């Protein structure tokens, strides 16, 4: 009974983890390679100044990307603690 | 003691470039060395077993480990190098900062937890979890050691130069002081001392950089627009500093550098080793969030510092030599800026912090290298079965001394050489060898020993070969007219070789052992996801 229980929770855990990981990994990789891509192909665009200031789009987006990277780690830990950790705990209790 | 004597006698003569001793720098530095040596003494009493030597007993908290990781990662090269790059060409500094940061979500999402759940002391524990010990350990140790040694050379040469300029010490004695201190931290205090040295250094560096950025912004009434406007007016490249310059000019280089930075971080042995110092996967997760926050914040500071230097340093004759360039070189931008905004006292503080940074980073590297020699090569590849912990400890201490002496020797040998490419090569090797075998061993059922060994070593070989044949070594160092391999960054090509090699030679592997290895995957995956079966930490 207990073994079947563990197996079931484990399958749940695997599914939940994939649901969390796939969008976050996708977001990480695409945002970064878009950034690099613009630098390689259209670096002039990043030099455009925004909002009547001397701050360029490239610098603005670069700072935003640093923020996004940190946010991704925060979101993951929040979701992992809320969704994955209870499942992991149950499995650990079952041994 | 002899070392301390040498250190103090040298420091007495220490002086800044203009010949006056900077007492703040000397006092700060002596204080740092004193405190860290005391910590080492305290740690040495707690470091008796292999577990405490490699993992500090496994009791480090998420916040402490986050600080220690950021300490390992924020080297003097990234503090002085990136602010120097911003000073030189503005926006391009941001490309490196973001590249160094983007590896962290990858580590968190894919590696941190399985690593903690499967490994004991080093990442090769994870790779050899179900594969054959001997060949895998040798391969992983080769990957680790080449990463560590390349990184060490770059740090040592940078350290020697920096100390020469900052304290006026001769190059060779600067390199020897760094080597001597790092050997004492690691041999006597192991991971516990190394971790605390990292934590102290990270706090010092973060507060020093925060103070500098604050003082810069204060002069511009905390208005970024004003800072950028003045920088554009002053800089010889004008408004071009606000857009990408020549760092990346073609798409192949863009992707190749991007891959090396993104996945290289996830294959650095001294970073991966830090995940074994926390008690479980929950703390491992936490430590990455803290580390990412600290490192991201730090890169924003270096960007402000670089721009501050453009405005406040680049047209101040006090910091320029006769030809109008920065005294020292562009990497001194942050150091000169500290003097410009905070006088001799801040200059002294930042110089001491830069020195502390170097010491901490080389200690972390040496410990990771020593564990590759003692834990992977000695204990698990050559002594399989008759593992003797006492002997393993002895070997790891000997390995530390050996690596320390080697680092000093190589540091002196490479004096005056262009070593900037070595960090790039270290990242390329980490992304090409360490990262693929690690990630595939965790997630790909069909990985076999044969595939990992052939694919991993082919990638390692190609990465080194392409760097030698590329523009940096073939043209700049060997003095040939044209590079045989046209790109600066090899990672795109070498990673393809590794992955195809691993895939092909694993898929076609029909031996009995390979079938057994595939069968073990399910159990390993279960443990990597749930942490059932891992060692509990010592004590409380």
User: If you ran DSSP here, which 8-state letter would residue B274 be given?
Assistant: G
Residue B455: the pLDDT is: 93
pLDDT score at B536: 59
pLDDT at B324 over 50: yes
Comparing alpha-carbon positions, the chain A residue that sits nearest to B113 is A80
| pLDDT of B420 | 67
Give the confidence band of B393 by pLDDT, cuts at 50, 70, 90.
confident
Query: Which tokens go with B159?
Result: 């350290």
With 0-12 / 13-18 / 19 or more C-beta atoms within 10 angstroms meaning exposed / middle / buried, residue B57 is buried
Of A34, A32, A38, A43, the C-alpha closest to B245 is A43
pLDDT: is B514 or B277 the higher one? B277
Contact B387, B379 (CB under 8 A): yes
Could you tell me how many CB contacts below 8 A there are between chain A and chain B? 138
Q: What is the pLDDT of residue B21?
A: 62
Q: How far is the C-alpha of A69 from the C-alpha of B99, rounded, in Å?
A: 11
What b/e string do you get for B150-178 counting C-beta neighbours within 10 Å, with b at 16 or more?
A: bbbbbbbbbbbbbbbbbbbbebebbbbbb
- Nearest CB among B248, B285, B530 relative to A80 is that of B285
What residue spans of B107-170 are helical by DSSP H?
112-118, 123-127, 133-167
CA B517 to chain centre: 33
Distances (CA, A) of B263 to A36, B372, B432, B444: 15, 20, 8, 17
> Is some CB atom of chain A closer than 8 A to the CB atom of B522?
no
B451 class by beta-carbon count within 10 Å (0-12 exposed, 13-18 middle, 19+ buried): buried
Q: Please report which confidence band the pLDDT of residue B8 belongs to, taking 50, 70 and 90 as the band edges.
A: low
Residue from the list A32, A58, A67 with its beta carbon closest to the beta carbon of B102: A32
- Kindly state whether residue B213 falls inside one of the protein's structural domains: yes
Q: Provide the pLDDT for residue B296.
A: 94
Tokens of B115: 């690593």
Cβ B307 vs Cβ B242: under 8 Å: no
Q: What is the pLDDT of residue B384?
A: 65
Contact criterion met (CB below 8 Å) for A49 and B241: no
Sign of the dihedral through C-alpha B356, B359, B360, B362: positive
Asked if B534 reaches chain A (Cβ–Cβ under 8 Å), the answer is: no
Residue B15 is predicted with a pLDDT of: 45
Find the mean pLDDT for residues B327-339.
83
The per-residue pLDDT for B540 is: 41
Mean local confidence (pLDDT), A9-19? 90
Element (H, E) at B405: helix B389-413
In this complex, the residue of A13, A59, A70 whose CB is nearest that of residue B242 is: A59
CA dihedral B364, B46, B404, B459 (to 10 degrees): -50
Q: Provide the residue range defining the domain that includes B276.
A: 52-530
A59 in Cβ contact with B242 (< 8 Å): yes
Cβ distance of A92 and B530 shorter than 8 Å: yes
Q: What is the pLDDT of residue B387?
A: 65
pLDDT recorded at residue B75: 83
pLDDT of residue B442: 92
Say if residues B517 and B451 touch (Cβ distance below 8 Å). no
Q: Is residue B169 part of a domain?
A: yes
Q: How far apart are CA B371 and CA B120, in angstroms?
A: 11
ipTM: 0.92
Q: Considering its fold, how many domains does chain B have in total?
A: 1
- Domain presence at residue B327: yes
Higher pLDDT among residues B191 and B422, named by residue: B191
Q: How far is B204 from B360, CA to CA, in rounded Å?
A: 12
Say what the pLDDT of residue B1 is: 45
By C-alpha distance, the chain B residue nearest A20 is B109
Handedness of CA B298, B303, B307, B310 (dihedral sign): positive
Q: Which of B109, B242, B254 sits opposite A36 (nearest CB)?
A: B254
Q: What is chain B's percent helix, strand, coil content, to nearest 5?
A: 80, 0, 20
Instruction: Compute the average pLDDT of residues B288-313.
Output: 93
B414-460 residue pLDDT tens: 887 766 678 888 889 999 999 999 999 999 999 999 999 999 999 99
- Tell me if B178 is assigned to some domain: yes
Which tokens hold the place of B229? Answer: 């406007």
What pLDDT does B392 receive? 84
Report yes or no: B293 at the A interface, CB cutoff 8 Å: yes
Query: pLDDT tens, B107-159?
Result: 999 999 999 998 888 888 898 888 888 899 999 999 999 999 998 988 888 88
Q: How far is CA A32 from CA B38, B99, B106, B201, B503, in A?
A: 43, 8, 12, 29, 26
Q: What is the pTM of this model?
A: 0.90
- Asked if B237 and B246 touch (Cβ cutoff 8 Å), the reply is no
Establish if B190 belongs to a structural domain.
Answer: yes
Give the closest of B248, B262, B529 to A13, CB-based.
Answer: B529
pLDDT of B539 above 70: no
Stretch among B23-37, B204-218, B392-406 having the lowest mean pLDDT: B23-37
Residues of A in contact with B529 (CB under 8 A): 10, 13-14, 17, 88
User: Is the per-residue pLDDT at B276 higher than 80?
Assistant: yes
Look at A43-52, A74-83, B94-103, B498-507 and tell me which has the smallest mean pLDDT. A43-52
* Chain B residues touching A47 at Cβ < 8 A: 239-240, 242-244
Contact B463, B232 (CB under 8 A): no
Provide the 3-class DSSP secondary structure of residue B417.
Answer: coil
**Does B31 fall in a domain?**
no
**B232, A77: Cβ pair inside 8 Å?**
no
Domain of B145, CATH number, reads: 1.20.1730.10
DSSP secondary structure of B24-75:
HHHHHHHHHHHHHHHHHHHHHHH--SHHHHHHGGG-B-HHHHHHHHHHHHS-
- How far apart are the C-alpha atoms of B83 and B92, rounded to whole Å? 10
Average pLDDT for B238-262: 80
At A77-92, the pLDDT tens digits run 999 999 998 888 888 8
What confidence category does residue B4 fall into, taking pLDDT thresholds of 50, 70 and 90?
low
């Amino acid at each position: 009974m207990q073994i079947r229980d563990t197996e079931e929770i484990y399958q749940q855990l695997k599914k939940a983890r994939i649901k969390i990981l796939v969008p976050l990994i996708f977001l990480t990789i695409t945002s970064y390679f878009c950034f690099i891509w613009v630098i390689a192909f259209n670096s002039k665009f990043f030099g455009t100044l925004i909002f009547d200031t001397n701050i360029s789009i490239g610098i603005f987006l670069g700072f935003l990307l640093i923020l996004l990277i940190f946010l991704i780690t925060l979101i993951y830990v929040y979701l992992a603690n809320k969704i994955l950790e209870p499942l992991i705990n149950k499995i650990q209790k079952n041994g | 003691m002899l070392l301390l004597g040498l250190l103090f006698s040298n420091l007495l003569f220490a002086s800044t470039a203009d010949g006056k001793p900077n007492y703040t720098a000397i006092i700060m530095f002596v204080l740092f060395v004193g405190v860290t040596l005391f910590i080492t003494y305290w740690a040495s009493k707690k470091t008796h077993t292999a577990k405490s030597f490699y993992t500090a007993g496994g009791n480090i908290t998420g916040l402490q480990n986050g600080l220690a990781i950021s300490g390992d990662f924020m080297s003097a090269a990234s503090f002085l190098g990136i602010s120097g790059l911003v000073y030189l060409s503005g926006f391009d500094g941001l490309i490196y900062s973001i590249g160094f940061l983007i590896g962290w979500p990858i580590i968190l999402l894919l590696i941190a937890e399985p690593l903690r759940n499967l490994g004991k002391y080093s990442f090769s524990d994870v790779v050899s979890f179900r594969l054959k010990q001997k060949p895998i350990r040798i391969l992983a140790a080769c990957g680790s050691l080449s990463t560590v040694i390349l990184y060490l050379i770059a740090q040592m040469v940078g350290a020697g130069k920096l100390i020469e300029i900052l304290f006026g010490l001769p190059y060779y004695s600067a390199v020897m002081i760094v080597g001597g201190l790092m050997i004492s931290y690691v041999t006597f205090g192991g991971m516990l001392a190394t971790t605390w040295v990292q934590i102290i250094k990270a706090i010092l560096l973060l507060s020093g950089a925060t103070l500098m950025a604050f003082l810069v912004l204060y002069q511009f009434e905390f208005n970024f627009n004003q800072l950028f406007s003045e920088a554009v007016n002053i800089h010889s490249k004008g408004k071009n500093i606000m857009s990408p310059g020549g760092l990346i000019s073609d798409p192949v280089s863009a992707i190749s550098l991007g891959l090396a930075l993104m996945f290289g971080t996830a294959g650095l042995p001294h970073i991966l080793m830090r995940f074994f110092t926390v008690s479980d996967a929950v703390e491992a997760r936490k430590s990455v969030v803290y580390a990412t926050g600290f490192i991201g914040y730090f890169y924003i500071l270096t960007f402000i510092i670089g721009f501050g230097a453009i405005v406040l340093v680049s047209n101040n004759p006090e910091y320029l030599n006769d030809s109008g360039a920065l005294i020292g070189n562009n990497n001194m931008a942050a150091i000169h800026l500290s003097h410009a905004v905070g006088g001799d006292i801040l200059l002294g503080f930042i110089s001491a912090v830069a020195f502390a940074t170097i010491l901490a980073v080389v200690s972390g590297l040496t410990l990771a290298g020593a564990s590759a020699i003692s834990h992977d090569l000695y204990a698990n590849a050559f002594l399989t079965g008759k593992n003797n912990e006492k002997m393993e400890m002895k070997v790891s201490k000997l390995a530390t001394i050996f690596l320390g002496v080697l680092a000093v020797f190589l540091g002196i040998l490479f004096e005056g050489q262009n070593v900037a490419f070595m960090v790039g090569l270290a990242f390329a090797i980490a992304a090409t060898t360490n990262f693929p075998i690690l990630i595939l061993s965790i997630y790909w059922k069909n990985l076999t020993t044969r595939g990992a060994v052939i694919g991993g070593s082919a990638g390692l070989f190609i990465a080194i070969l392409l760097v030698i044949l590329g523009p940096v070594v073939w043209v700049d160092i060997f003095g040939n007219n044209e590079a045989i391999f046209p790109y600066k960054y090899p990672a795109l090509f070498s990673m393809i070789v590794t992955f195809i090699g691993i895939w092909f030679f694993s898929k076609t592997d029909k031996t009995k052992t390979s079938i057994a290895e595939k069968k073990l995957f399910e159990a390993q995956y279960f443990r990597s996801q749930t942490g059932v079966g891992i060692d509990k930490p010592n004590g409380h």
